[in-house]
Structure 1
Amino acid sequence: MRLRHKPHAIPHMQESSYIIFDPENHKGSWKDIFKNKNEIELEIGAGKGDFIVSKAINTTDKNFLALEMNTNAFVSACKKIEENDLKNVYGIVGKAEELTDMFDENEISKIYLNFSTPWPKKRHNKRRLSHENFLKLYKVICKTGAEIELKTDNEDFFDASVAYMEDFGMEIIEVERNLAEEDSIVTEYERKFRDRNMPIFHLIAKFK
């Protein structure tokens, strides 16, 4: 579903101290942004920010970054961070293809992929955020032993993601084909699937 264009989105975020439009200028120095040495976890495709804001509220001993290219959605995340006056989460406007321009080696300790676009047509599979093309980028910016945690409503995308990660030499720690609601941060988007009685697929994989 296409989001309604919000002409105020970019101006609002540009005025916010929580949204970063020039992530390449912080490569190698993200801990300076947070003013501490806590681990940094990254959500790619953060949308309206429900997940990452909940993580930041409930896990104050870690830092969080939310990457999103759709400013119409991301302005909602910006407002949620502002409303909660959070100091351990920042948003980044950018594309996953540019991750190695934004981050140095070993800067990220975990990556979250929540309900990413499944790109079902075979010719588009390389655009999937769990594809080998992106796993190569994640491995560069992640610490040794870092995890990727993925949730989706799309079984074909899920099965392909498990295969991509196994073929890449990652260790599959957890595979759940019907994630219990109490084990999940249920966002507005996820709620729509659960209300339709659709299973939520979940995996955790680790870089060796």
Structure 2
Amino acid sequence: MRVRHKPWADDFLKEHDHIVIHEPKQYKGKWRELFGNDKPLCVEIGSGKGQFITGMAAQHPEYNFIGIELAKSIIVTAVEKAADSALPNVRLLNENAADFRELFEENEVDTIYLNFSDPWPKNKHEKRRLTFSSFLEQYKAVLKEKGEVIFKTDNQKLFEYSLSSFSRFGMILQEVKLDLHAENDPLNVKTEYEEKFSSRGYRIYRSVASFQ
């Protein structure tokens, strides 16, 4: 979907530097100092407009949340949501998460969320998928022992590919749901895409995997 350019985005993000961390690499290994507590750290890659991460932060004040989104014209909406909710346990990064290890120290992260990631359906683009082995190596490096990668998508082929990728990497599948919304879990926080696709009758898939 084409996103309208917002020329005011840069200034808006600078004005909300209590939410948007502009030089995140300096906090590598120090994120708990930034939050001012020792709560578990959860990271979402591709936060979009922020519905999921702000919803999770509101539902789980016992955790700290960091959302990463590259597109300025999209992340501004997430910042607005976080500001309106006045959530003390959420920060946002306008960054490319190409190498997670530049942002987080080893064993610093408790949970990684991958929500409705770009499926990159062409074989030649396999290495861009966020569940490709090179990304899994990064996740393993920054996750604590038994830390989890929680993955949701409406794309069956990407889901099947990801389960296979997790297994080949030696990860343990803690949960595999082929129709998440069939259970009507009241604790499931939906993303914008999740609401959109499920309303059209698409099945939502979810897996929870951890490293050995």
- Counterparts of 1:5-84 in structure 2 under 5 Å? 5-16=5-16, 17-84=18-85
For residue 186 of structure 1, report the CA deviation from its aligned partner: 2.1
For residue 99 of structure 1, report the CA deviation from its aligned partner: 1.4
Deviations 1:14-48 (A, max 9, x none): 11110012111111100111000000000000000
Q: How far, CA to CA, are the matches of 1:188 and 1:120 in structure 2?
A: 21
The count of corresponding residues between Structure 1 and Structure 2 is 208
For residue 187 of structure 1, report the CA deviation from its aligned partner: 2.7
How high is the TM-score relative to the length of structure 2? 0.96
For residue 194 of structure 1, report the CA deviation from its aligned partner: 1.0
2:44 aligned counterpart, secondary structure: strand
Deviations 1:134-161 (A, max 9, x none): 0001111110110000000100000000
Structure 1 position 197 matched with structure 2 position 198:
no
Show the counterpart of 1:112.
113
For residue 95 of structure 1, report the CA deviation from its aligned partner: 1.4
Q: How far, CA to CA, are the matches of 1:77 and 1:91 in structure 2?
A: 8
Structure 1 position 153 matched with structure 2 position 120:
no
Counterpart amino acid of residue 53 in structure 2: I
Q: How far, CA to CA, are the matches of 1:48 and 1:79 in structure 2?
A: 9
Show the counterpart of 1:103.
104
Does structure 1 conserve the Cα–Cα contact (< 8 Å) formed by 2:115 and 2:191?
no
Deviations 1:24-80 (A, max 9, x none): 111110011100000000000000010000000010011000011111110000010
2:99 aligned counterpart, secondary structure: helix
RMSD: 1.0
Q: What are structure 1's unaligned runs of at least 5 residues?
A: none
Greater mean deviation of Cα atoms: 153-162 or 89-98: 89-98
Does structure 2 conserve the Cα–Cα contact (< 8 Å) formed by 1:10 and 1:75?
no
Counterpart amino acid of residue 154 in structure 1: N
Q: What are structure 2's unaligned runs of at least 5 residues?
A: none
How high is the TM-score relative to the length of structure 1? 0.97
Does structure 2 conserve the Cα–Cα contact (< 8 Å) formed by 1:56 and 1:63?
yes
Q: How far, CA to CA, are the matches of 2:22 and 2:164 in structure 1?
A: 34
2:48 aligned counterpart, secondary structure: coil
